[in-house]
């Protein structure tokens, strides 16, 4: 599994201490779950952020943020960001806040 411990720690610091937060190996990286719902993931090639279908347009307009693909299939509602994105504290926080807002609206699993 190709993991990025530095990115995992950044994301853990941003999300840490939140009730219902869990972590596990997934998608070839390290996933963060909230109340049983997938929230985001840290991988060697960047972070994956769940914004929800129809909620990702604003993020895709940002430099360095791209649509997540699973093979050739577009994963609507999911975006990816490399080092330039997750290395920008304000941008990383904005994306994670948006992911939290979406995932907190989902029923717990």
Within a domain: 72 = yes
User: What CATH number is attached to the domain comprising 79?
Assistant: 3.90.1150
Question: How many folded domains does the chain comprise?
Answer: 1
What's the domain range around 24? 5-103
Tens-digit pLDDT profile for residues 67-109: 999 889 999 999 999 999 999 999 999 999 999 999 999 999 9
What is the predicted pLDDT for the residue at 17? Answer: 83
pLDDT greater than 70 at residue 1: no
Within a domain: 108 = no
Tens-digit pLDDT profile for residues 13-53: 999 889 999 999 997 899 999 999 999 999 999 999 999 99
Within a domain: 67 = yes
C-alpha neighbours within 13 Å on the C-beta side of residue 16: 7
pLDDT greater than 80 at residue 55: yes
Angle between helices 89-104 and 5-15 (to 10 degrees): 60
CA 12 to chain centre: 11
Within a domain: 109 = no
Q: How far apart are CA 87 and CA 27, in angstroms?
A: 21
């Amino acid at each position: 599994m190709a993991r990025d411990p530095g990115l995992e720690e950044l994301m853990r610091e941003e999300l840490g201490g939140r009730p219902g937060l869990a972590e596990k190996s997934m998608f070839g990286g390290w996933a963060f779950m909230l109340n049983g719902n997938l929230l985001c993931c840290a991988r060697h090639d960047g972070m994956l952020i769940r914004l929800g279908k129809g909620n990702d347009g604003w993020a895709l307009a940002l430099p360095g943020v791209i649509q997540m693909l699973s093979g050739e299939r577009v994963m609507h509602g999911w975006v990816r960001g490399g080092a330039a994105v997750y290395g920008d504290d304000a941008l990383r926080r904005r994306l994670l806040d948006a992911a939290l807002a979406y995932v907190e609206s989902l029923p717990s699993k």
